[in-house]
Chains A and B, each alone.
Chain A
Amino acid sequence: MAHDWIGRVDRKDEQRLIAQAVRGDSDAFAALYRAHVQAIYRYIVHRVSDAQMAEDFTADVFTRALKSMSTYQDQGKPFLAWLYRIAHARVVDYYRRRGRRPDEAELDAQPIAVTDDVEGELLRGQAASALRTALSSLTDEQQQVIILRFIEGLNLEETAVSMGKNANAIKALQHRALRALASRLERSGFDLENILSGLS
């Protein structure tokens, strides 16, 4: 299968798979699932506190997608954009029900990839912890744009499609989100320049 949109599925292949999945082809839906499961998982794991919960939410997202597949209408947007919206709704739903944001202890429990660079890893660990805490204090939309634009690496247009907005709205939103993120980090005594120089 060819890939192009953020390194994933070629649009023509995807449209064919979607049409087959709408007709109940389990192989086609499985192919769509395989193409996007890790992206959805990463998006969720950045928003919730632990890997197990992220796996459960990822399962919810694809189960909901499957249930709605028969009524899916291909509107020219990537399938992943629809999945991101379901994932976003699932995370928002979780926090609404819980009535609070994840606390720092929960966020610290999130695993960090281990490398041979122990000192750099420690620094990254501290930075990651501070970043996750700051990120969790942003609005849902601000978190979404930060994750999609700067963690997942989507460009402006791709982020716009995934969030159902136009590119200009994303420019303004990413500006507000980054400003809020920087402000939270500074208020918690986190020196952006120092940590960046330590990471580089």
Chain B
Amino acid sequence: MNDFASSSLFDDIAAQCLDDVLAGRRTVAQCLRAHPEQATDLRPLLMAALLTARMPTPPPMREAAVDALEARLRATMTAPKSLPKPAPRRAPTYAFAFSRMAAMLALGLLLAFGSTGLVSASDRAVPGDALYGLKRLWEAIVLALSPLSGPHDALWIQIAHNRLYEIDVLDEQGRLDEQVLTDLHRALYELAQVRTPQNEADVLLLLQQADSLLAQVTPQPEAQKVYDTLSALTQQSVDTGMPALPASEYPLLAESPLMQVTYAPPTPTASATFTATASPTASATPSATPSPTATLSPTPQPSASPTPSRTPPPTPSATPSPTATLTPTATWTALPLPGTVLLTSAAPTLPPGVLPGATATAPPANSDNPRERETQQAVYLTQTVGAPATPAP
């Protein structure tokens, strides 16, 4: 085969000839005469295509098997679903009641906002599109309102599917970058937190589809590492038939397409203060009181790159004190949506406890419980991004 046979021009010629020959508009000989310089390379392609097209169609699936499968599927759909045992009810705390009220209020406002069609129009947005910020904002809101908006695990499965769609489109456009793959990793990590025997089949199917898609895409060079991480997980899932999900979050990117966060690693001092600056201007000085969990292990990384992390920055002592305060500094850059600070679900880079624009002390956002984290985001969203959703008086 000569070099020409691997060129896109040859692909075009071959595609046209294949279409014509298979449709009966031209014979193989006519195509070869029309392209004498490519005839040597074209001939085997056209012959192989013709042979394949002329092969006998296998007998269809037996009608009895089709009927039986339909009956099984119908039975599955109509069978009563076994519901998980409800968790014992706890007396609501004031904070919980407040966040639930805020969520209900936000839901009402956002239903009106969503009904404008903007939200549904953003469904197909991909990074770089004008409506992509809205799409991600909507995801964060829907998550924050769970279970009102749906089961938490189902929402994360849907979000992971959204990321797969975006990966697919970005790959077609030749700009499959690190961000969207990191976002998928984050969605899978969140799924790992809400994994149950009931959702295992759905998660496995998601991972199988991810595996199929990842095998067909070509990431940009800088995205290779996270691509390899994801591919290893999805392939393991396919190989074992068991969902393999990330055990930890992938290091978040310093630059998100929606939000730039500069993060100053904390100096190893015992006390610290947050300073968050939102655009246009907003600052807050809340303090976070992390619980003494393993994520507070004293491994200061002052030389680390400015990668924002959801886990609180390290404290200086080997035994983290429950009263320790933290001192990261974050600068928030507003998103293209006017008056809105978008929080990407993939870049949940709100430093613990910081709610730009909020004057009240925020609850610590470093909870191990993903639902609590989302509730904290809901409060944040209703205080900040809720503004554009409010109808004009």
Partner-B contacts on A (CB < 8 A): 24, 26, 29-30, 33-34, 37-38, 41-42, 45-46, 51, 54-55, 58-59, 62-64, 66-68, 70-71, 73, 75-76, 85-86, 88-90, 92-93, 96-97, 110-113, 124, 127-128, 131, 135, 140-141, 146, 149-151, 153, 155-156, 163-166, 168-169, 171-172, 174-175, 178-179, 181-183, 185-186, 192-193, 195-196, 199
Query: Contact: B77 with A110, CB < 8 Å?
Result: no
Query: Contact: B11 with A171, CB < 8 Å?
Result: yes
Min C-beta distance of A102 to chain B, whole Å: 14
Give the residues in chain B near A89, CB-CB below 8 Å: 208-209, 211-212, 238
Query: Contact: A111 with B77, CB < 8 Å?
Result: no
Chain A residues touching B, majority SS: helix
Query: Contact: A45 with B15, CB < 8 Å?
Result: no
Q: Could you say which of A63, A71, A92, A113 contacts B73, with CB atoms under 8 Å apart?
A: A63
Query: Contact: B51 with A64, CB < 8 Å?
Result: no
Query: Contact: B216 with A38, CB < 8 Å?
Result: no
Partner-A contacts on B (CB < 8 A): 1, 5, 8, 10-12, 14-15, 18-19, 22, 41, 44-45, 47-62, 65-66, 69-70, 72-74, 76-78, 123-124, 154, 157-158, 161-162, 165, 168, 172, 201-202, 205-206, 208-209, 211-213, 215-216, 238-239, 241
Q: Could you say which of A73, A86, A140 contacts B161, with CB atoms under 8 Å apart?
A: A73
Give the residues in chain B near A178, CB-CB below 8 Å: 14, 18, 44-45, 48-49
Give the residues in chain A near B77, CB-CB below 8 Å: 24, 26, 29, 66
Query: Contact: A168 with B69, CB < 8 Å?
Result: no
Residues A113 and B58 in contact in the complex (CB < 8 Å), given A70-B154, A97-B239: yes
Query: Contact: A131 with B52, CB < 8 Å?
Result: yes
Seed contacts A68-B206, A150-B22, A171-B11; 20 additional CB < 8 Å A-B pairs:
A26-B77, A33-B73, A37-B61, A63-B72, A63-B76, A67-B202, A71-B157, A73-B158, A85-B209, A86-B205, A111-B58, A131-B52, A141-B215, A150-B52, A153-B22, A164-B168, A171-B14, A174-B15, A178-B44, A179-B5
Query: Contact: B123 with A73, CB < 8 Å?
Result: yes
5 A-B pairs closest in CB distance: A182-B44, A192-B47, A41-B61, A26-B77, A171-B11
Query: Contact: A92 with B212, CB < 8 Å?
Result: yes
Min C-beta distance of B180 to chain A, whole Å: 15
Residues A92 and B238 in contact in the complex (CB < 8 Å), given A73-B123, A175-B10: yes
Q: What are 28 residue pairs bridging A and B, where the CB atoms are less than 8 Å apart in the complex?
A: A26-B78, A29-B73, A30-B74, A33-B69, A33-B70, A34-B70, A51-B62, A55-B61, A55-B65, A58-B61, A66-B73, A73-B158, A75-B124, A85-B209, A86-B209, A89-B211, A89-B238, A131-B51, A149-B18, A149-B49, A164-B168, A178-B14, A178-B44, A178-B45, A178-B48, A179-B44, A196-B54, A199-B51
